[in-house]
């Protein structure tokens, strides 16, 4: 007799991230559910010094609160000319509670006068999958590009309007969701954690 799908919590309060992950994680035998389905699971302070630390902290907290396996990611934009900043502080680069527009504006100010050729950057994503018993696995994805001198495009989120992937002519915010998801750092991280998820799915068959 076929087992019901195993529920895995997607541990993010960011609806944009949740939508991207849901579009990438369609696997038979698994049902991905949002953290918002579990009101008792409170917010997690992302105070880690690395993307890995934050992803693991969020996934472990969600797994402990729900009793289910949990998947979480942390993503950072690393700009070479800024020594890797904003990095782990990407979401709050312009301060706690800052908007996407605030962060983009600060980044442009920081790169003022830097020529396009020297605006090398990379989006990096780390995904953590944790069980209630504490077992965990992580995977990473990365996409290289450059920071534009002005925002382009109305789609996407975060730094997407400023990020031009290597070899591309459109910013992440000028791409459709499907186009972005096919080449993004999050897609690469999902691809690398897929073997761990497929193993869980196979156990449900």
Active site residues: 74
Q: CA-to-CA distance for 93 and 56, rounded, in angstroms? A: 21
Number of Cβ atoms within 10 Å of the Cβ of 113: 5
Q: Are strands 136-147 and 120-130 parallel, antiparallel or unpaired?
A: antiparallel
Q: CA-to-CA distance for 165 and 111, rounded, in angstroms? A: 17
Task: Report the Cα 202 to chain-centroid distance in Å.
Answer: 25
Cβ-count burial 128-158 (b if 16+ within 10 Å, e if not):
bbbbeeeebbbbbbebbbbbbeebbbeebeb
User: Would you state the structure tokens that stand for residue 61, as one six-digit string?
Assistant: 């907290």
Q: What is the DSSP letter of 40?
A: T
For 198, phi then psi, to 5°, come to -65, -35
For 55, phi then psi, to 5°, come to -60, -45
User: Would you state the structure tokens that stand for residue 148, as one six-digit string?
Assistant: 């534009």
């Amino acid at each position: 007799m076929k087992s019901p799908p195993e529920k895995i919590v997607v541990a993010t309060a960011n609806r944009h991230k949740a939508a991207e992950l849901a579009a990438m994680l369609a696997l038979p035998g698994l049902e991905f559910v949002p953290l918002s389905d579990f009101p008792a699971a409170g917010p997690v302070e992302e105070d880690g010094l690395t993307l890995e630390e934050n992803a693991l902290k969020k996934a472990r907290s969600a797994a402990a609160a729900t009793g289910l396996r949990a998947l979480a990611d942390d993503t950072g934009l690393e700009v070479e000319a800024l020594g890797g900043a904003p990095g782990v502080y990407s979401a709050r680069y312009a301060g706690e509670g800052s908007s996407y527009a605030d962060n983009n504006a600060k980044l442009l100010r920081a790169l003022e006068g830097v020529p396009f050729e020297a605006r090398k950057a990379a989006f990096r994503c780390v995904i953590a999958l944790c069980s209630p018993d504490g077992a965990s696995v992580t995977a990473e994805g990365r996409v290289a590009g450059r920071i534009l001198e002005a925002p382009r495009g109305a789609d996407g989120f975060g730094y997407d309007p400023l990020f031009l992937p290597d070899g591309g002519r459109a910013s992440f915010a000028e791409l459709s969701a499907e186009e972005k998801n096919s080449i993004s750092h999050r897609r690469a991280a999902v691809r690398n954690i897929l073997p761990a998820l497929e193993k869980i799915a196979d156990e449900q068959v």
